[in-house]
Structure 1
Amino acid sequence: MQVTAFAKINLGLAVLGCRADGYHEVDMVMQAVSLGDVLTLELAETICVEVNCPELAGGPDNLAYRAAALLQKVTGQRRGVRIYIEKNIPLAAGLAGGSADAAAVLRGLNQLWDLGLSLGELMELGAALGSDVPFGLVGGTARARGRGEVVEPLPALVGRGVVLVKPAFGVSTPRVYRLHDQLPPRPPGELAPLLAALEQGDWAGLCAALVNDLERATFTLHPELAAIKQALQEAGASGVLMSGSGPTVFGLCADEPAARRVAAGLDLAGCRVDVAVTL
C-alpha cells in the first residue's frame, strides 16, 4: 500500500499560555499542502522503517515506527509492517513532516491490518504521538486547539499556490517556545479576522490576516528569516508568514502558476524552494 503524508502550513498560530503538562495552549489555523512524503507499507513479521534520507533514522525513535508500534500494542495486532519513506518534506522545517508520516501510518495500517478503527479512535492515538498528528489525519483546512489535538474542519481553501522557502538550517521547537516565554509578553495573535475571511471566501482579507506568535522568537534566533519574508513579498506573494516554529517561510499566491512566477523571481542562496498548492 502507498500513502502520501502531506505537509502543513500555519495560516494562524496564537500562543495562549503554558499548560500544567508542560505544553503550550495554542489556537491554530492549519492548512495541508501538496508537498508530501510517500510511504510504502508492506506486511511483515516485525516493524521495520527505512528512509531515503540519511539524516533521519528509521529506528524506534522515528514517528512512523512509533505510530506502528502504538497501533500494534493497543489492538493486539500480531502482524508487523515494513515501512519505506520517500522523504520529500524537509526536516525540522515547521511543516510537520514527522507528524504527517505518523498520521499516514495510522491511516494506512488501519486498512492494511483490517483494524476498523474510527477517525476519532485514530486521532486519540495520534494525539499520544504528537500535537500535529491529529491534524495530519484530518487534513484540509482546520482549526486546532488545546496543544493541537482538538481539530475542527474549516471551510476549505483549495488550489491556492504556496511557495515554501526553507533555509539551510533547522530549528528546535522547544527552544523557540522557551524564547517566546522569555520575551516581553504580548497579547496572543487575533485569529478572528482570519476565520472570518475563510468563512466569507475573502482571499485578500485572508492574506492580510495571517498571524504567527512564534515569528518573533524564531526571527530573534535567526534574523536572516526577515530577509526571506521580505523577498517573498517583493516577488509578489499575496501573503507571507513563517510556518509553525519555523524556519520555513511561505508565500500564498492566487494559484499554482502565480506561485511558480514568485518562486522564479527569488534569489535566495542556500535556501530550498518548493511550490505547492493548498489541499
Structure 2
Amino acid sequence: MKIYEKAPAKINLMLDVLHKRPDGYHEVEMIMTMVDLADRLELKELPGDSIIISSQAGYIPLDEKNLAFQAARLIKERYQVRKGVHIHLDKHIPVAAGLAGGSSDAAAALRGLNRLWDLGITSEELQTLGAELGSDVPFCVTGGTALATGRGELLTPLPDPPQCWVVLAKLPINVSTAEVYGRFRSHKVQSHPSAQQMIQAIEQGSFSQVCERLGNVLEDVTMELHPEVRQLKETMQRLGADGVLMSGSGPTVFGLVSKEAKVARIYNGLRGFCKEVYAVRLLT
C-alpha cells in the first residue's frame, strides 16, 4: 500500500517579532498562506522497523537531520508503531528559502503516516506533534490561511486572501533563520506591520489593501547580511508586481500580481537576476 501527500510552500503576508521569550524563542505574530508550489511525498510500509528517506534532490539530508525522518520517528515512538516506512520526497520547493519546505514535508509525513497506519490521530493532535518538530509545522499540518502567534504554533484560521498570481524568486544563497533571529533587535524596528489591518484587508477581500499591508520585520536584518535580497525586491517592484515582500527569514522574495498579463514580464525579468523563479497561484 502506498500513500501520497502534497506538501505546499507557505509565504508570510506579514511577520512581526514582538520580543524574546524566557525559553529562548521569539514571540511572533504572523499571517501565513500557502501557494501552489509543492513537494510530493510517497509513503510505503516496509517490513521491519526502519525509516528510509529517499529523494531525487541531491542537496537534502536523508538521515535523522531530515524533518520528515524526525516526523516518522516521533509518530512511531509516540504511538508505539513497530512498522517500517519508506518516504520518497519529490522536491520542488527550494531549501533554506523561507518557504517552510522542510516543515511542510514533516507535516505531510505526519498526515500520511496517520493514514498509512490508520492511527486515527486528530488534526489538533497532529499540530501538537508538529510543534515538537518546528514552529511552522503546525500551520503546515492544516494549511489554508492563518494568524500564527506564540512561537508560531498557536493558530487562528482566517479566510483565504483574494486570489492572485504569486511570483517567487530565490537567490542562490542560504540564509540561517537562527542567525537572522539572533541579530534581530526589536528596538531598531521603525514600524511594525499590523496583523489586524492585514486580517481586515483579507476579510474585505481587498487585493490592493493586502498589498499595501504586507510587512516583515526580518527584512532589514536579512538585507543587511545579504544586500542582493534588497536588490531583488527592488527589481520585482520595478517590474510591476503589485505587492512585494521577503518571505520568512528569506532569501525568497515574492510578488503578488493581480493581472496574468504582467506575470510573464515579471517572471522573465527576474530570470536574468536569479535562476530559481516560479509563477504560481495562491492555494485557496
Task: Give % identity.
Answer: 47
Give, in whole Å, the separation in 1 of the partners of 2:91 and 2:259. Answer: 25
Q: Distance in 2 between matches of 1:85 and 1:276?
A: 20
1:130 aligns with 2:131: no
Aligned to 2:23: 21
Aligned: 1:156 with 2:163? no
- Write the mapping of 1:36-51 to structure 2, written as runs, cut at 5 A: 36-44=38-46, 45=48, 46-51=50-55
Match of 1:106 in 2: 110
Alignment of 1:218-237 (within 5 A): 218-237=222-241
5+ residue gaps, structure 2, are none
Give secondary structure in 1 for the equivalent of 2:64. coil
Cα RMSD (Å) of the superposition?
1.5
Residue 193 of structure 2 contacts residue 214 of structure 2 at CA under 8 Å; is this kept in 1? no
SS in 2 for 1:177: helix
TM-score (norm 2): 0.94
How many residues in Structure 1 have an aligned counterpart in Structure 2? 279
Query: In 2, Cα distance between the equivalents of 1:24 and 1:105?
Result: 26
Aligned equivalent of 1:177: 181
- The residue that corresponds to 1:203 in the other structure is 207
Unaligned runs of 5+ in 1: none
CA contact (8 A) 2:162 2:207 kept: no
- The answer to whether the 8 Å contact 1:123/1:133 transfers is yes
Query: Residue 12 of structure 2 contacts residue 30 of structure 2 at CA under 8 Å; is this kept in 1?
Result: yes
Q: Of the candidates 33, 36, 41, which is equivalent to residue 35 of structure 2?
A: 33
Return 173-182 or 126-135, whichever deviates more.
173-182
Judged with a 3 Å threshold, the aligned counterparts in structure 2 of structure 1 residues 21 and 262 are, in CA distance, closer, same or farther, namely same
CA contact (8 A) 1:8 1:30 kept: yes
Letter in 1 for 2:17: V
For the Cα contact (< 8 Å) 1:256–1:275, is it kept in 2?
Answer: no
1:174 maps to amino acid:
A
Q: In structure 2, do the counterparts of structure 1 residues 184 and 158 end up closer, same or farther at CA, with 3 Å as the change threshold?
A: closer
Match of 1:58 among 55, 62, 65: 62
Distance 1:37 1:255 in 2: 26
Instruction: For 2:130 and 2:5, locate their aligned partners in 1 and report how far apart those are by CA, in whole Å.
Output: 16
